[in-house]
Amino acid sequence: MIELPVLPLPSQWPPSVVLAVVESDESFTKAVTASLLVTAGLVFLLSVLLGELCTRLKLPSVLGDLATGMILGGSVLSILVFAEVDQVANGSILHLLELATGAPPDTVMNAYQFQMGEFINNSATIGLLTLLFVTGLESDLEELIRVGPQAVAVAMTGVFLPLIGGAIALIYIFHVPTIPAIFAGAALTATSIGITANVLQEIGHLQSDEGQVILGAAILDDILGIVVLALTLSLVETGSIEPSSLILLVINAAVFVLLAVLLNRYFCPVFTKNIERFDNPAALLLCSFAFLNILALLAISFGLEALLGAFAAGLVLGGTSQREKLMRLVQPFVFVYTTIFFVTIGASVNLNVLNPLVPENREGLVIAACLIAIAVIGKVIAGFTILGDKPINRLAVGIGMIPRGEVGLVFAGLGASTGVLSESQDAAVLIMVVVTTLIAPLLLRWVFPSQPEILTADTAKRFAEIEEAVGGKF
């Protein structure tokens, strides 16, 4: 048996050692707080300025958040840096924090990395969940069910056409091995529901027929994307696909969607009846967030993504009489946390991969151009698969499915961490994600008029209620 040395307890330490530990903890805590104040302050300030610029140029304000992240990220100012991608923080910022806190350089560096991972990253996650929750609140379950067959057609085509097209192009044009080609093709499948929903809300089309089809298809895209991701990871790790795992994942997704429908029908009256008994003004918001957390956790337990649970929570509570009041209460969280979310997406972009003067980047740029074309064309074609004689802007539906956003970044990150993609291939996937995320808001503005051309009386009333609830701005 190996005997471990017996270390003295803190109560047995000499006073000088105890004092040093306390001072170290205090310095670290102070440095973490100062780092958070600096980074969050710069994020909000620059986001407001660039968002205002985009608004005056008639562009979606989310582009200002993405641009803020790119400027503050590791490619430019190196203020928003993440340890998992081995970035180094801005030396001037670190020196400023050393002067402000009196902490040693190593402590400041550790504190800066700690707050980036524990606060900024976690705030971005809260932002995504909050954004999906509000999107669910603004959605009409009956309307989503009505456009269900159309959304299924768009989602199925929008997943499998880019997947197959991307894999075939990489294999036969660029001679990429089969497994990396399938993995990169899988990165083309998903749709960023957060970015599209944000833009549709801004331009007043979230409740339109096109908006509901896009929303329904994007949700199905996420579910199918999870299945595709599970399949590709299984293929990468084992070289084969386990049919039983795939079947179980599909069943779990179907059961979870059915559960959301049942909760919307039977839980809403109970929630409304009981929440009205509370005199505490915070009861509605806190109980709603608790419900959000429960469904997000339930989604994870089903093997799905937490964001689907957040959307389902909003969809369920959107059927209550407290909907408009809840939207007003949740808006401050939307403004703060979704800003951080979109900024972190921008900060994750390595702009250096766009430099064609670097020989290592050229192959990735050529592959990226091919992937971008397939990514855009595949989703646009999916929009034209909508059946029926009812007039609908099919081009707008296809364009609304273009942005890959955070979902595409997950694929890019896994491609790098698993080693399945080469540096040039991973750079190509990253560029595809960035370009599709940036061009989609611009194209949506172009294909949609400033306001819906034809509104029913009920839809017009819903628009008025939403605009009044959120102050005319998402």
> For residue 178, is it within any domain?
yes
> For residue 336, is it within any domain?
yes
Query: How would residue 459 be classed by pLDDT, with cut points 50, 70 and 90?
Result: very low
Indicate if 106 and 153 belong to the same structural domain.
Answer: no
Give the length of the chain: 474
- Supply the CATH number for residue 224's domain: 1.20.1530.20
Taking every pair of C-alpha atoms in the chain, what is the biggest distance, in angstroms?
83
Indicate if 275 and 362 belong to the same structural domain.
Answer: yes
Last residue of a domain, one of 93, 121, 149: 121
CA distances from 86 to 91, 143, 199, 224, 369 (A): 15, 45, 32, 31, 27
> For residue 167, is it within any domain?
yes
Helix axes 121-138, 323-333, angle to 10 degrees: 160
Indicate if 84 and 224 belong to the same structural domain.
Answer: no
> For residue 4, is it within any domain?
no
**What is the pLDDT averaged over residues 53-69?**
82
Q: Is the pLDDT of residue 238 over 70?
A: no
Indicate if 187 and 310 belong to the same structural domain.
Answer: yes
Indicate if 336 and 421 belong to the same structural domain.
Answer: yes
> For residue 374, is it within any domain?
yes
CA distances from 226 to 127, 342, 455 (A): 20, 21, 35
Domain limits at 48? Answer: 13-121
Distance of alpha carbon 403 from alpha carbon 208, whole angstroms: 19
Indicate if 168 and 42 belong to the same structural domain.
Answer: no
Looking at per-residue pLDDT, the higher value among 427 and 291 belongs to 291
Indicate if 210 and 144 belong to the same structural domain.
Answer: yes
Task: Kindly report which listed range (2-6, 57-61, 83-87, 272-276) carries the lowest average pLDDT score.
Answer: 2-6
Model pTM score: 0.72
Distance of alpha carbon 14 from alpha carbon 359, whole angstroms: 59
Q: What is the pLDDT of residues 263-288, one digit of tens each?
A: 877 888 888 888 888 888 888 999 99
At residue 9, the pLDDT reads: 43
> For residue 245, is it within any domain?
yes
Indicate if 82 and 149 belong to the same structural domain.
Answer: no
CA distances from 473 to 27, 203, 289, 441 (A): 41, 10, 22, 16
Indicate if 94 and 147 belong to the same structural domain.
Answer: no
> For residue 6, is it within any domain?
no
Indicate if 117 and 142 belong to the same structural domain.
Answer: no
Last residue of a domain, one of 98, 121, 144: 121
Indicate if 155 and 62 belong to the same structural domain.
Answer: no
**Among 131, 237, 139, residue whose Cα is nearest residue 183:** 237
Q: What is the pLDDT of residues 117-148, one digit of tens each?
A: 888 888 888 888 888 888 788 776 776 677 67
**What is the pLDDT averaged over residues 279-305?**
87
- When divided into structural domains, the chain yields a total of 2
At residue 75, the pLDDT reads: 81
Distance of alpha carbon 292 from alpha carbon 310, whole angstroms: 5
Q: Is the pLDDT of residue 256 over 70?
A: yes
Q: What is the pLDDT of residues 345-374, one digit of tens each?
A: 778 777 777 778 877 778 888 999 999 999
Q: What is the pLDDT of residues 135-184, one digit of tens each?
A: 788 776 776 677 678 888 888 898 899 999 999 999 999 998 888 888 88
Residue burial 271-309, b: 16+ Cβ < 10 Å; e: rest: bbeebeeeeeeeebbebbbebbeebbebbeebbbbbbbb
Q: What percent of the chain is modeled with pLDDT above 90?
A: 15
∠ CA 159-160-165, rounded to 5°: 115
Q: What is the pLDDT of residues 386-408, one digit of tens each?
A: 876 677 888 888 998 898 866 67
Last residue of a domain, one of 74, 97, 121: 121
Query: How would residue 52 be classed by pLDDT, with cut points 50, 70 and 90?
Result: very high
Indicate if 181 and 80 belong to the same structural domain.
Answer: no
> For residue 253, is it within any domain?
yes
